[in-house]
């Protein structure tokens, strides 16, 4: 979603001592400026992918990179966080008020980073210590499952009804 930030992360990652293999898979068509980076695979040749194509690619990834820097999406966020929740994929993300709503210190669903360098260091740690990451990933996926339950339609319908009903028309939602 943000090729300029991804290019900075990949540049920082290339300076680190990587001992494992990895692939950054860009699921979508926004990959300008990333042509020269190793281990980057693009899924689109400039055309929009349909939902089933995106889902097929997403099944094979270990985690989502959410590249929205601090002070963006303060009151809303892109669908990337909801995609991650939908596919039960942990995330690496910048310290961002919106994303932090879902990935909290008490119940993280990924790795929160304060800078491009920290983002790359987290990626390098996962690449270099993949088996340890798999244990962490199970913990993060359990937190994602709890979050999905909290925000499920069934558990949210009362709040949704309250938000979309005029105060003088409120009745209990069935």
**Distance (Å, rounded) from C-alpha 149 to C-alpha 88?**
12
Return per-residue pLDDT of the chain as tens, 174 residues: 688 999 999 999 999 989 989 999 988 777 788 888 889 988 877 778 888 988 899 998 999 999 988 877 666 666 788 889 999 999 999 998 889 989 999 999 999 999 999 999 999 999 999 999 999 999 999 999 999 999 888 888 888 888 888 776 655 555
What distances in angstroms separate CA 70 from CA 5, 7, 90, 158, one per listed residue? Answer: 12, 17, 19, 32
74-106 pLDDT tens trace = 666 667 888 899 999 999 999 988 899 899 999
3-state secondary structure of 39: coil
Strand partners, 118: none
Query: Tell me, what's the pLDDT at 173?
Result: 54
Tell me the per-residue pLDDT of 134-143, one tens digit each, with 9 for 90 and over.
999 999 999 9
Which residue(s) pair with 113 in the sheet? 94
In terms of Cα–Cα distance, which of 68, 134, 135, 127 is closest to 103?
68
Alpha helix stretches (DSSP H) within the chain: 3-14, 51-59, 80-87, 97-102, 116-128, 130-150, 153-163
Q: What is the pTM of this model?
A: 0.85
Identify the pLDDT of residue 18. 93
Place of tokens 């990834």: 61
């Amino acid at each position: 979603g943000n090729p300029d930030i991804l290019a900075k992360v990949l540049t920082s990652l290339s300076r680190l001592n990587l001992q494992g293999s990895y692939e950054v898979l860009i699921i979508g068509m926004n990959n300008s400026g990333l042509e020269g980076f190793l281990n980057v695979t693009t899924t689109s040749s400039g055309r929009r992918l349909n939902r089933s194509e995106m889902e097929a690619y997403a099944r094979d990834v270990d985690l989502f990179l959410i590249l929205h820097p601090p002070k963006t999406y303060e009151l809303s966020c892109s669908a990337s966080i909801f995609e991650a929740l939908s596919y039960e994929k942990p995330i690496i993300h910048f310290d961002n008020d919106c994303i932090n709503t879902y990935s909290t210190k008490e119940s993280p669903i990924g790795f929160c980073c304060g800078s491009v360098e920290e983002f790359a260091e987290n990626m390098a740690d996962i690449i270099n210590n993949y088996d340890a990451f798999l244990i962490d990933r199970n913990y993060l996926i359990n937190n994602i499952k709890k979050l999905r339950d909290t925000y499920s339609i069934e558990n949210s319908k009362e709040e949704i009804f309250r938000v979309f009903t005029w105060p003088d028309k409120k009745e209990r939602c069935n």
